[in-house]
Amino acid sequence: MVVSDQHTETADAGEGVGPTPGAGVAQDGSLALGGGVVADDGVRPAPVVGQPDASTRTPALELRKVSKRFGVAWAVRDVSFCIYPGEAMALLGDNGAGKSTVVKMISGALSPTSGELYVTGKKVRFSSSQAARRAGIATVYQDLGLVPTMSVWRNFFLGAELRTKGRLDVRRMRWEAEESLKEIGLRNLRSVDQNVMRMSGGEQQALSIGRAVHFEQKVLLLDEPTAALSVKETEKVFEYIGRAKARGVAVLVIMHNTAQALRCAEKVVVMRHGRVISERRVEGDTSALMEAVNGDISGVGESLQ
* Whole-number Å distance between alpha carbons of 248 and 87: 8
* Whole-number Å distance between alpha carbons of 28 and 216: 16
Go through the domains of the chain in sequence order and give each one's CATH number: 8-16+26-41+58-298 (3.40.50.300)
* Whole-number Å distance between alpha carbons of 90 and 16: 26
* Whole-number Å distance between alpha carbons of 224 and 69: 24
What's the burial of 295, exposed, middle or buried (CB within 10 Å: 0-12/13-18/19+)? middle
Note down pLDDT in tens along the chain; length 305 residues. 333 333 444 444 333 333 333 333 333 333 333 433 333 333 333 334 344 455 568 999 999 999 999 999 999 999 999 999 999 999 999 988 999 999 999 999 999 999 999 999 999 999 898 899 889 999 888 777 789 999 999 999 988 889 998 899 999 999 999 998 888 788 888 899 999 999 888 888 888 888 888 888 899 999 888 887 888 888 888 888 998 999 899 999 998 889 989 988 999 999 999 999 999 999 877 888 898 898 888 886 554 44
* Phi, psi of 208, deg, nearest 5: -65, -40
Element (H, E) at 208: helix 201-214
Closest CA to 205 of 182, 168, 183, 238: 238
> Would residue 144 be called left, alpha or beta, if left means φ above 0 and alpha means ψ between -120 and 50 degrees?
left
